[in-house]
Structure formats: C-alpha cells, structure tokens
C-alpha cells in the first residue's frame, strides 16, 4: 500500500531591511518598519530577522556602502533566508547587485505589494489590473537574470496571467501583452461605467475609503448585512464591492474600495484607477480610520494624498472612527481623536456601536437639510419630483395646497425655491 505524505510548502524565510538616512523621521521609520512586517506576513513570509540600516548618503550600487552590504549578505547566509525584503524601492541594477551578492531574491516594497495584490485578485478586472502592474514593474528588469519570487514559492501565493511567463518574454512580447490587457481593461471599464450610470439614476452613492485594514469591509457588512470577505490582513479587498442600504426615497448605494497605503506603487494606482474611480464618482465619501492604531494620523494623511491624486479630495466627506471597541477604556483617548477629527463619528463594526448615527449622518449629507415645500393642489408632479429625488419625512394634503417636509439635494431645492416655506 502506497503511503501518502503531506507536501505542504513551507513559508519562505525573509530578512527585512529598512534603509534610513539623516532626513528620516524616527517615528515614521518605526511605523514603516512595523508596516513592512505586516506586508511580509500578509504574503505568507516567515520573518527570520529585521534590521534598520542608517546611512549618511545613498550609494548607487546597493543603496548603501559595500561594507554594510557585505555584512547584510553574511547575516542572510547565517540565517539561511530565502530572500531579502527592502522597505523602499530598488532600481533594477540594485536588485541585480543584491541578488548576485547573496544568491537569493531581493524584493523591494513595490514588488511586495504587487505580489500581495496578485494573490488577492478575484475578478477578471482585478486580475487584469494586477497583471498590468506586474508587467510595468518587470519591463525595466528584463535585461538581467531575475530570481522569480513566484517560482521560489512554487506558485503558492499566486501570480496570475503574466506571472508564470513575464520573465521569459522579451520586451516586445511584454509590450504587446500590456497593449492587449489595456484594451481588455478598457472594455471592462466601459461596462462598469454603464452599470454605474444606471445605478446612479436610481440611487445616491457613498464610497468607503481609507487606509488598508482600517475595517472598511467589516463596516460595509455591518451597515448593509452583506457578507464581504473581511480579514485582519492588508489588502483583503481589491475589487470594488457595492451593496444597497435601503433608505426613504432613493436607495443609498455603498461601495467598499481598495485600501490605500504609504508609498503605494504608481503602477498600482494607475492600474486600479477604474476601481478607485468609485471614490471619484461617489456623491459622498466616508473616510474610515482605525481609531485604535497609533499611526492613525499618518494613515489619514496618506488617504487624503491618494484622494488628491485621484481628484476626489473635494468630495463631501464624513470621518468614521472605527474599532473604538479596541480603544483603551479612557475618555481621554476618544476626546483626543475628536479634537484632531472634529465632527467625526465613533463606530464599531464589531459590536454595532455608532452605526445608527453614521447611517443618519450619511443620509443627511446626501439628502441635504430638512426643508418644507408647499405646492398648489394641481402640482402633484412637483410632489412626485421630491419623492423621486429625496427623502420625504412628512406629507400633508389640504384643500388648497400639498405640503411636504423632505430632504432633497441642493440642485432640486434650487428648482423648487419658490415653493419653500419657513426659509
């Protein structure tokens, strides 16, 4: 009888390297080092060691001096690691130099994030976008023998589409594949635009935005009863997931978007622009912050920076302080957040705290202030317009008028200005 053995692939051991110069802020450096650990673990690496290297100036060959590079190579050999992971971008030549020196893969932050995205892509749109980011990343690296990270991990953490062949193709083949993928992505975007246009005619929209792992998917589930994948990992969500929150008047459509991160590769911002456009097109943004994270202020600024890049920073926005259940049981902690983020709404997607207030604030922000309209009795068409475009709170029919108390958007209120009362 043949005996069966488990063939589970062991996680790859990684040596994490952070390079800091005299301009680096100590607190920011510590935060980025912690984040690098999270990224590596999300990809399934076993962290063998982590080291922060302080340099006076950047060197072309390794990014640091040859003496320090030799020291790191020696430590990597002693640890028996499979790869070096750098918290920063390596040029193609630097990557080649590190791999020649150590004989193992040298992975920078950009590739780490791209590989995480590759393993998380679920829909065809996300797969195309990740494949494009991989190809753009690999294009300048085709001139040297590259140690393929996906081959080392046996495909376990997954690269789809171009992942198995990108390093065997020449530049022309890569450019041709980029062209084909861009054409396919354009078709997918057209379909999304049609779907969005139809949806916007029947509803108002809200996009949940924020730093990765701030709890956007959990909040979407809590608000709408959806069952979107929500994990305590970076980039659990890549595809824009849309759910409907029933409300008086038009339905409120809520979209969960891909999370942001510091130093998000531009190739990924460009590739995922169609997904991120959900934020650009939304009527309202809800900026979800992890209130329990000590780096919440840096994450807030990162999200605003990406929104500015997308042209969505001027959108109406509410700030939701999520995960308040994780805050220390001290009023000072919450008061400090309120001072830094005035008008924010404390919520917990886990236990439901603050969700009713968040829903009410979202509806108010989308529908506008409560107004009273009084129409002539023969203008039921105007009453119907208010019903279609807003939230009617009270309706009274008298012999000489029809009176509605409602929330409507500013453009509708402007058209009905002559019928406003008590204004």
* Two domains, one topology: 13-116 and 200-366: yes
Nearest to 237 by CA among 203, 282, 194, 278: 278
pLDDT score at 151: 42
pLDDT score at 399: 81
> Which residue ranges make up each domain of the chain?
13-116, 200-366, 370-421
Long-range contact set of residues 47-50: C-beta below 8 Å, sequence gap at least 24: 47/13, 47/14, 47/16, 48/13, 48/14, 48/15, 48/79, 48/80, 48/81, 49/15, 49/16, 49/75, 49/79, 49/81, 50/15, 50/16, 50/17, 50/18
Give residue-wise pLDDT tens across range 122-158.
778 778 888 888 888 888 877 544 444 444 433 333 4
Instruction: Please give the model's pTM, rounded to 2 decimal places.
Output: 0.72
CA 163, CA 92: separation in Å to the nearest integer?
18
Which comes out higher in pLDDT, residue 273 or 415? Answer: 415
pLDDT score at 110: 87
pLDDT, the chain, mean: 80
Give residue-wise pLDDT tens across range 324-348.
988 876 668 888 898 999 999 999 9
Q: Which CATH number fits domain 13-116: 3.40.50.11060, 1.10.3720.10, 3.40.50.1980, 3.30.420.80?
A: 3.40.50.11060
Nearest to 256 by CA among 215, 225, 201: 215
Which comes out higher in pLDDT, residue 124 or 418? Answer: 418
Angle at 83 between CA 82 and CA 84, to 5 degrees: 145
- Average pLDDT (243-247) is 75
Which fold would CATH assign to domain 200-366? Rossmann fold (3.40.50)
Q: Is the pLDDT of residue 4 over 70?
A: no
Percent of the residues in the chain that have a pLDDT greater than 90, as a whole number: 22
């Amino acid at each position: 009888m043949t005996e069966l053995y488990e063939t589970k692939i062991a996680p790859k051991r990684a040596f994490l390297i952070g390079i800091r110069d005299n301009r680096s802020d100590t607190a920011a450096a510590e935060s980025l080092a912690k984040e690098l650990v999270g990224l590596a673990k999300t990809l399934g690496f076993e962290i063998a060691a982590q080291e922060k290297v302080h340099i006076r100036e950047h060197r072309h060959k390794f990014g640091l001096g040859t003496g320090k590079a030799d020291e790191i190579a020696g430590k990597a050999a002693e640890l028996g690691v499979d790869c070096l992971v750098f918290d920063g971008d390596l040029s193609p030549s630097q990557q080649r130099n590190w791999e020649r020196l150590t004989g193992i893969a040298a992975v920078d932050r950009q590739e780490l994030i791209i590989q995480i995205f590759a393993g998380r892509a679920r829909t065809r749109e996300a797969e195309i976008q990740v494949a494009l980011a991989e190809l753009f990343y690999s294009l300048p690296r085709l001139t040297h023998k590259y140690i393929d990270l996906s081959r080392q991990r046996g495909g376990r953490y997954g690269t789809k589409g171009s992942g198995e062949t990108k390093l065997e193709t020449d530049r022309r083949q890569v450019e041709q594949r980029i062209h084909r993928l861009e054409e396919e992505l354009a078709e997918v975007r057209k379909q999304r635009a049609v779907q969005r246009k139809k949806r916007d005619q029947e509803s108002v929209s809200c996009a949940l935005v924020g730093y990765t792992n701030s709890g956007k998917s959990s909040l979407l589930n809590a608000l709408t009863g959806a069952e979107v994948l929500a994990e305590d990992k970076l980039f659990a969500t890549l595809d824009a997931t849309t759910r409907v929150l029933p409300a008086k008047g038009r339905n409120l459509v809520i979209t969960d978007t891909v999370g942001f991160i510091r130093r998000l590769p531009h190739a990924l911002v460009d590739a995922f622009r169609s997904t991120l456009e959900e934020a650009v097109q939304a009527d309202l943004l809800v900026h979800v912050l992890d209130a329990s994270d000590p780096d919440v202020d840096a994450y807030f600024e990162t999200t605003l920076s990406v929104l500015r890049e997308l042209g969505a920073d001027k959108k109406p926005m509410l700030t939701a302080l999520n995960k308040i259940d994780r805050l220390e049981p001290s009023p000072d902690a919450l008061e400090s957040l309120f001072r830094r983020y005035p008008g924010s709404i404390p919520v917990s997607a886990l236990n439901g705290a603050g969700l009713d207030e968040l829903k009410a604030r979202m509806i108010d922000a989308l529908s506008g202030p409560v107004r009273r309209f009084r129409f002539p009795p023969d203008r039921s068409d105007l009453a119907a317009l208010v019903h279609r475009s807003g939230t009617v709170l009270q309706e009274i029919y008298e012999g000489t008028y029809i009176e509605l108390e409602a929330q409507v958007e500013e453009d509708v209120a402007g058209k009905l200005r002559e019928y406003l009362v008590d204004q």
